[in-house]
């Protein structure tokens, strides 16, 4: 049975199957369902709310019209500020705080399922934060390269490949005159642009600054 992996914490099989069939049709390329929590009220819950966690977003499945329709409320992980849960006498209230807009809370989530939701959601949020940190580091490196452009006495390409030294016979040739500082700066700037380390706008702006010093 393909839904067994989502029934690890006493989720209702019939509800899980109905919801998962709908969710499968909504998944984007590379997206997978990680966990499914199903509301369980003290009385018989004919049409429970559900919360699904995927590697790209969190989906709230809210039935309407006596179960004939389902309203899907989704947040990508970039859209979420934080999640939390509060254990109550009957189950837990799971709360999602978006970056913008009102909080969304579902009550009567079984306590074990609420804890698992909290765990899986925070794992995905941490991955997003890590990606943002890495992007910030890359951006700072590029801007640092731009700020230091032309300060070195010699021209060195970023990440230039190691070329082994090969001895060659001495050849008498005319040694060209050393290039001026402006030319070296322009070459280094062009190299950064060709390697896509800076944008076209940054390239044109910095180029204009260098030429203005000529």
Q: Give the pLDDT confidence of 180-192 residue by residue, as tens digits.
A: 777 888 888 788 8
Work out the average pLDDT over 197-210.
Answer: 79
Q: Give the pLDDT confidence of 5-33 residue by residue, as tens digits.
A: 999 999 999 999 999 999 999 999 999 99
Q: Is residue 88, in this structure, part of any structural domain at all?
A: yes
* 130 in the same domain as 59: yes
pLDDT of residue 160: 46
Closest C-alpha to 84, from 102, 62, 101, 104? 104
Q: Is residue 98, in this structure, part of any structural domain at all?
A: yes
Q: What is the pTM of this model?
A: 0.64
* 128 in the same domain as 182: no
- Distance separating alpha carbons of residues 38 and 175, to the nearest angstrom: 78
What's the pLDDT band for 135 if we cut at 50, 70, 90? confident
* 118 in the same domain as 65: yes
Q: Is residue 56, in this structure, part of any structural domain at all?
A: yes
Number of structural domains the chain divides into: 2
- Distance separating alpha carbons of residues 73 and 105, to the nearest angstrom: 12
CATH number at residue 37: 2.30.29.30
Q: Is residue 160, in this structure, part of any structural domain at all?
A: no
Please name the residue that has the structure tokens 């709310």. 49
Domain span at 29: 4-135
More confident residue, 84 or 45: 84
Lowest-pLDDT range of 13-22, 53-62, 150-159: 150-159
What's the pLDDT band for 156 if we cut at 50, 70, 90? very low
Q: Which of 104, 135, 166 is the last residue of a domain?
A: 135
Work out the average pLDDT over 153-171.
Answer: 50
* 119 in the same domain as 34: yes
pLDDT at residue 47 above 60?
Answer: yes
Mean of the per-residue pLDDT values of the chain = 83
């Amino acid at each position: 049975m393909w839904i067994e992996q989502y029934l690890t914490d006493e989720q209702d099989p019939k509800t899980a199957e109905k919801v998962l069939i709908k969710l499968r049709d909504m998944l984007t390329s590379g997206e997978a369902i990680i966990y499914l929590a199903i509301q369980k009220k003290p009385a018989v819950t004919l049409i429970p709310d559900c919360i699904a966690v995927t590697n790209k977003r969190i989906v709230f499945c809210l039935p309407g019209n006596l179960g004939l329709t389902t309203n899907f409320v989704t947040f990508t992980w970039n859209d979420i500020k934080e999640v939390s849960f509060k254990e109550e006498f009957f189950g837990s209230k799971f709360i999602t705080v978006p970056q913008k807009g009102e909080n969304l809370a579902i009550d009567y989530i079984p306590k074990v399922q609420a804890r698992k939701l909290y765990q899986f959601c925070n794992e995905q949020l941490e991955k997003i934060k890590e990606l943002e940190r890495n992007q910030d580091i890359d951006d700072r490196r590029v801007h640092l390269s731009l700020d230091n452009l032309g300060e070195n006495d010699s021209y060195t390409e970023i990440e230039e490949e190691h070329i082994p030294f090969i001895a060659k016979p001495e050849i008498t040739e005319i040694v060209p005159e050393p290039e001026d500082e402006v030319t070296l700066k322009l070459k280094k700037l062009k190299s950064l642009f060709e390697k896509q380390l800076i944008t076209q706008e940054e390239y044109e702006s910095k180029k204009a600054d260098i030429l203005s010093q000529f």
